[in-house]
Amino acid sequence: MFCACLTGIFYILTGIQYWVSDYMINEMGQPESKVFITFGIVSITGPVVGVIVGGNITTALGGYTTKKSLYATVGMAYMTMFSAVPIPFVNSFEVVVALLWLLLFFGGAILPSCTGLMLNTVDITKKTTANSLANLSYNMFGTLPAPFIYGAIYDFGDGGHG
């Protein structure tokens, strides 16, 4: 279950990377250089800081198997959702950028505890293989198909006429 959830997270994050630049340029009327620089900074700092903060929170709460840590992970997952929901309804470039940063931050913050929980369900002798197969799953079913599927939906939606 955790592997499927994390695969979904990687699919969504890759999809965000695919469409957000196009959205900001075409729908929000922002210059390409501003969008690419801003989103580059957001997409690098948000998840990295999130993973570090999420890992530290998980450790401070006693590890990924404690009840407090599980509640914190669920809270961060809700914050991820609450960061994403308003984006289509906001017209301010700066607010959208801030919400995207929060989305990527909280998405990154849940990765340490989710990965730990997933690997905790596997026998200790099989953890290395399980981790490798999980990463293969993230890439094959999350990261890899996202640009293709989102692109196909985009082309189908407007008839491929940009």
Which pLDDT score, from 0 to 100, does residue 1 have? Answer: 62
Structure-token pair, residue 17: 């990377």
The domain spans of the chain are: 2-142
Query: What DSSP line would sit under 1-53, residue for residue?
Result: -HHHHHHHHHHHHHHHHHHHHHIIIIIS---HHHHHHHHHHHHHHHHHHHHHH
Q: Is the pTM of this model over 0.85?
A: no
Question: Residues 6 or more apart from 57 whose CB is under 8 A from it?
Answer: 69, 72, 109
What residues in the chain have per-residue pLDDT under 50? none
Which pLDDT score, from 0 to 100, does residue 41 have? Answer: 93
Which residue from 126, 105, 5, 118 is spatially nearest to 53, judged by alpha carbons? 105
12-53: pLDDT as tens digits:
777 777 788 888 988 899 999 999 999 889 989 998 999 999
Cβ-contact 147, 139 below 8 angstroms:
no
